Amino acid sequence: MKTHERKELIELLNKCWMTHDAMWFYQCLQEFGIEKANKMNKGAIRSLAPIEIGRIRNFLGIKKEKIESFKEFKAFFEGASELCIPDFMNATMSFPYENVLHWQFKPKNCFAYKGMRNIGVIDKYECGVIYRIECWIESLGIKYDVNPRIKKCLMVDGETCSGHFDLYF
């Protein structure tokens, strides 16, 4: 498969997955309200993370039981990002310093922000996007701090969403 075809396939599969995720959230919202939908969304993310991480590790050929260094984490995360954080999400993930993972979304252009704004619950939506990354890191057994600690969408009161994870090996 050519590189551009692979990228297009990854984009398509992730769009389908994120649309399913959005429709699942929307159905929970309609049936149970925003508080319960947020709780169920985070529960689903947390329970999926170890399965998702295991599948990504297998796909990337990572046989080592535990990721023990920033170098190993960076290699894993770059591979995982290519598979699970395609361009339409409008996120940039980078490693500006040793043991730091930085995220930045294009101003007012996060895919989840736009979706939740469109269904009218952005002011009460609890961010699942950064929470998913937190759950990945926890599933890898890596200690971390996140700044800022996100609950509500940062784009409600500001233009963008950015922050970083400090990783401890």
At 8, which CATH number? 3.30.1380
Domain extent at residue 11:
3-168
pTM of the model: 0.94
**How far is Cα 71 from Cα 163, in angstroms, rounded to an integer?**
20
**How far is Cα 65 from Cα 140, in angstroms, rounded to an integer?**
9
Q: What is the pLDDT along the chain (169 residues), one digit of tens a residue?
A: 788 899 999 999 999 999 999 999 999 999 999 999 999 999 999 999 999 999 999 999 999 989 999 999 999 999 999 999 999 999 999 999 999 999 999 999 999 999 999 999 999 999 999 999 999 999 999 999 999 999 999 999 999 999 999 999 9
What's the structural domain count of the chain? 1
Q: So what's the pLDDT on residue 2?
A: 85
